[in-house]
């Protein structure tokens, strides 16, 4: 077990014990209350789900290489795209940044010893594991073919697959994100170090706070919806069954009431990471701090009002459609504000193009396209044509992969030296960042054109005239795949052979860079007292830049 005395030993100057070296037994990991260890366990699990989802993605792309349904028959294909969606959304995208980076960094960034409720934090990890295990079990037993959206009455009455087991897996997993969100909100409210006022919080923390609000308010609704669905399957009667007067459209309302905000659960943390990266790698205070902070909250709030834009052609009334379209347009504004502020931050900065910054710039390009195509889909007259086509697929991959995954990778690279104490190969990092960017665009840009031509999504076979663009897409996917596998190799390599990163490799002012790498179990040897603003690079930050330059010279020679 970890001991609290470990920190004392640090204070007295004996060899530092960090969170990784503080206990090596399996028990010391499985029963830990240390947010950093929990984050590392999340990191490993989330990565496994990401690559499992990725395998399904490659199966999809290979099948779509030819118009006929030849590699996978349509029943298998249906399961493959469903499972790709379920794993990626519920088990990778939603927990990735909050549960890995948020868990690891949020307490350090606000100068706390741990999250406010460490046992709840561990509980949320176990819930995630149980939900994940149940889902994986269902997938191994035969899988599920309803689409990740579980639309009724197909999911309740017609599908013969393991809908209930997967549904329960997602239901259970939901409580993991509820508990994480709850923990973050409490932590931000009560655990800030002396002097760490709300407006000195790093923007990543603001984003986490906004995300936590969405998790707490939205996730219970999907939980009850999925529970109703599972019960209906179990007993063969329920409120979504049209044959007794139930309402299948009500399911869509309840589902999207959560699942639209869930999109913001996926993208808001990404925006938080990008705010960190842009500001820190320009060595300049972020432009319009308050506007970025409040736009996160605005997105979280407005996100709850636009679920109906997933249902423009579901038969809802014309007027509901118009209102949801209007509100959707309004949500575009806070995102645009962030975009402009990030660009303005670069102005007159001192921009270094390290790997995390490459990811951040890639994010800006991809999110720009993802966001703007969101306007296409919010324009109600146009989306009648575009909805349920590959245009939608391309749009949300630009936001989810181009936004969230890229930001996550940027964040992992940025904080890797802090988490592990080791530096990865900058050369391979840059290569992989560029491969991801190029591969991603090759994969998904053709799908916009396919969508406008009318190719419906979730098709195992398609008319021949769509083949050329599908070939482009599959080719791009292979580049993207290589780009995504590379970090596993060179990051893994750095664990064994990487050079020691030092406490503050980039000489940045954030609190996380003011403790050792990897940090000790309770993060800081003494509780820090914050006297500087967020992203303060000047004198007040107290960074010893000359010392850093001498250090760099020493490394070079």
Give the whole-angstrom CA distance, residue 270 versus residue 408. Answer: 6
Q: How far is the CB of 102 from another protein (least distance, A)?
A: 16
If one asks whether residue 438 binds another protein (CB under 8 A), the answer comes out as no
CA 453 to chain centre: 31
Within residues 191-220, the interface with another protein by CB under 8 A covers 191, 216-220
For 192, the token pair is 């800030």
What part of residues 488-517 is at the interface with another protein (CB under 8 A)?
Answer: 507
At closest approach, how far in Å is the CB of 340 from another protein? 4
In the set 45, 180, 387, 515, which binds another protein (CB under 8 A)?
387
Site for another protein, residues 2 to 61, rule: CB under 8 A: 4, 7-8
Among 71, 344, 438, 475, binds another protein (CB under 8 A): 344
Least distance between another protein and beta carbon 281 (Å): 9
Is the alpha carbon torsion for 54, 56, 62, 66 positive or negative?
Answer: negative
Q: What is the pattern of x (binds another protein, CB under 8 A) and - over residues 394-433? A: ----------------------------------------
How many residues line the site for another protein (CB under 8 A)? 143
Beta pairing partners, 101 = none
**Cβ nearer to another protein, comparing 29 with 452:** 452
Among 428, 459, 490, 532, which residue interacts with another protein (rule: CB under 8 A)?
A: 459
Q: What is the distance between the alpha carbons of residues 344 and 359, in angstroms, rounded to a whole number?
A: 18
In the complex, the smallest distance separating the C-beta of residue 147 from another protein, rounded to whole angstroms, is 5
283 CB contacts (<8 Å, ≥6 apart)? 349, 350, 352, 537
Residue (136 or 211) nearer to another protein, CB: 211
CB atoms within 10 A of CB 40: 21
Q: Which long-range contacts (CB under 8 A, 24 or more apart) does 241-244 make?
A: 241/152, 241/153, 241/156, 241/157, 242/153
Q: Between residues 354 and 484, which has the closer beta carbon with respect to another protein?
A: 354
Query: Considering only residues 62, 71, 123, 224, which one is a binding residue for another protein as defined by CB under 8 A?
Result: 224
CA distance 448 to 471: 14
- Residues 275-294 contacting another protein, CB under 8 A: 282-285, 287-291
Alpha carbon distance 204, 105 (integer Å)? 9
From 259-267, 372-380, 420-428, 430-438, give the range in contact with another protein by CB under 8 A. Answer: 372-380
Considering the complex, what minimum distance in angstroms separates the CB of residue 495 from another protein? 27
The residue range among 24-32, 38-46, 95-103, 359-367 that interacts with another protein, by the rule CB under 8 A, is 359-367
Is residue 237 near another protein by the rule CB under 8 A? Answer: yes
Tokens at 5, concatenated: 């005395």
**Helix, strand or coil for residue 347?**
coil
Closest CA to 447 of 471, 477, 469, 474: 469
> Which one, 468 or 485, has the nearer CB to another protein?
468
Task: Give Cα 228 distance to the centre of its chain.
Answer: 27
Distance CA 6, CA 24 (A): 14
By beta-carbon proximity to another protein, the closer residue of 41 and 182 is: 182
Binding to another protein by CB under 8 A, coded x per residue (else -) over 63-92, reads ------x----xx--x--------------
Among 21, 123, 385, 503, the residue binding another protein under the rule CB under 8 A is 385
In the bound state with another protein, the residue whose beta carbon lies nearer, of 15 and 290, is 290
Interface residue with another protein, options 141, 347, 488, 529 (CB under 8 A): 347
For residues 394 and 491, which CB has a smaller minimum distance to another protein in the complex?
394
Among 41, 267, 380, 442, binds another protein (CB under 8 A): 380
* CB 213, min distance to another protein, A: 9
Distance CA 104, CA 555 (A): 28
Q: Which stretch binds another protein (CB under 8 A): 183-191, 410-418, 492-500, 511-519?
A: 183-191
**HSE of 146, CA atoms in CB hemisphere, 13 A:** 24
- Residue 147 binds another protein, judged by CB under 8 A: yes
Half-sphere exposure of 532 (CA within 13 A, CB side): 19
**Taking the complex as a whole, how short is the minimal distance between the CB of residue 68 and another protein, in angstroms?**
10
Chain positions 106 to 125 lying near another protein, rule: CB under 8 A, are 112-118, 120
Q: Which is nearer to another protein, 47 or 149 (CB)?
A: 149
Residue with smaller CB distance to another protein, 248 or 481: 248
Q: Whole-number minimum distance, CB 136 to another protein, in Å?
A: 23
List of residues 6+ apart from 348 with CB closer than 8 A: 284
Q: How many CB atoms are closer than 10 A to CB 459?
A: 17
The residues, any chain, with a CB within 8 Å of residue 76's CB and separated by 6 or more, are none
Q: Distance between CA 360 and CA 406 in Å, rounded? A: 8
Judged by beta carbon, residue 78 or residue 420, the one nearer another protein is 78
CB atoms within 10 A of CB 362: 23
Count of alpha carbons within 13 Å of 268, Cβ hemisphere only? Answer: 36
b/e for 84-97, b at 16 or more Cβ within 10 A?
A: bbbbbbbbbbbbbb
Q: Which of residues 513-552 bind another protein (CB under 8 A)?
A: 522, 526-527, 537-538, 545, 548-549, 552
Restricting to residues 287-326, which ones interact with another protein according to CB under 8 A? 287-291, 313-315, 317-318, 321-322, 325-326
Beta pairing partners, 499: 423
Q: Collect contacts of 290-293 with beta carbons under 8 A, ≥24 apart.
A: 290/199, 291/337, 291/341, 292/203, 292/206, 292/337, 292/338, 292/341, 293/199, 293/201, 293/203, 293/206
Indicate which single residue of 133, 468, 489, 529 sits in contact with another protein (rule: CB under 8 A).
Answer: 468
Give residue 187's Cα distance to chain centre: 20
Burial category of 532 from C-beta neighbours within 10 Å (exposed 0-12, middle 13-18, buried 19 and up): middle
Residue of 197, 343, 485, 492 that binds another protein (CB under 8 A): 343
> Which member of 461, 475, 493, 532 binds another protein (CB under 8 A)?
461
């Amino acid at each position: 077990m970890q001991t609290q005395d470990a920190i004392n030993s640090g204070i007295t100057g004996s060899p530092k014990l960090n969170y990784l070296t503080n206990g090596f037994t399996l028990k010391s990991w499985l029963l830990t209350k240390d947010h950093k260890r929990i984050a590392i366990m999340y990191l490993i699990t989330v990565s496994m789900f990401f690559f499992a989802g990725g395998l399904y993605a490659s199966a999809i792309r290979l099948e779509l290489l030819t118009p006929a349904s030849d590699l996978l028959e349509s029943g298998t294909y249906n399961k493959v795209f469903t499972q790709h969606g379920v794993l990626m959304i519920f088990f990778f995208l939603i927990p990735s940044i909050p549960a890995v980076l948020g868990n690891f960094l949020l307490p350090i960034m606000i100068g706390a010893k741990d999250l406010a409720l460490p046992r709840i934090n561990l509980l949320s990890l176990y819930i995630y594991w149980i939900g994940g295990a149940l889902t994986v079990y269902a997938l191994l037993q035969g899988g599920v073919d309803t689409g990740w959206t579980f639309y009724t009455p197909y999911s309740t009455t017609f599908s013969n697959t393991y809908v209930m087991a997967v549904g329960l897996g997602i239901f259970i997993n939901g409580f993991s994100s509820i508990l994480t969100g709850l923990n973050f909100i409490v932590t931000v409210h009560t655990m800030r170090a002396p002097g760490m006022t709300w407006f000195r919080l790093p923007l990543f923390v603001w984003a986490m706070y906004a995300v936590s609000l969405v998790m707490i308010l939205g996730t219970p609704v999907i939980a009850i919806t999925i529970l109703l669905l599972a019960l209906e399957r179990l007993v063969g009667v329920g409120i979504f069954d049209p044959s007794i007067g139930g309402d299948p459209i009500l399911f869509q309302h309840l589902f999207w009431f959560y699942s639209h905000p869930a999109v913001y659960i996926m993208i808001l943390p990404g925006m938080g990471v990008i705010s960190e990266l842009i500001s820190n790698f320009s060595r300049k205070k972020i432009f319009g701090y308050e506007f970025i902070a409040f736009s996160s909250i605005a997105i979280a709030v407005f996100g709850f009002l636009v679920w109906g834009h997933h249902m423009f052609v579901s038969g809802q009334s014309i007027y509901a459609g118009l209102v949801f379209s209007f509100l959707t347009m309004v949500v575009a504004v806070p995102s645009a504000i962030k975009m402009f502020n990030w660009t303005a931050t670069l102005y007159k900065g001192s921009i270094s193009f390290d790997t995390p910054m490459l990811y951040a710039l890639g994010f800006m390009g991809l999110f720009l396209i993802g966001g703007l195509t969101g306007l296409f889909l919010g324009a109600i007259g146009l989306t009648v044509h575009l909805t349920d086509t590959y245009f939608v697929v391309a749009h949300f991959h630009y936001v989810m992969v181009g936004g969230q995954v890229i930001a996550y990778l940027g964040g992992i690279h940025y904080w890797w030296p802090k988490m592990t104490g080791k530096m990865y190969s900058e050369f391979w990092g840059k290569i992989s960042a560029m491969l991801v960017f190029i591969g991603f665009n090759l994969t998904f840009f053709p799908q916009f054109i396919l969508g406008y031509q009318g190719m419906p999504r979730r098709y195992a076979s398609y008319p021949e005239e769509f083949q050329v663009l599908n070939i482009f897409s599959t080719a791009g996917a292979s580049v993207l795949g290589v780009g995504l596998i590379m970090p596993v190799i060179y990051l893994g390599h750095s664990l064994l052979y990487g050079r020691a990163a030092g406490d503050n490799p980039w000489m940045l002012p954030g609190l996380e860079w003011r403790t050792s790498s990897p940090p000790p179990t309770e993060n800081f040897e003494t509780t820090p007292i914050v006297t500087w603003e967020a992203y303060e690079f000047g004198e007040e930050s107290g960074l010893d830049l000359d010392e850093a330059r001498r250090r760099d010279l020493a490394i070079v020679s």
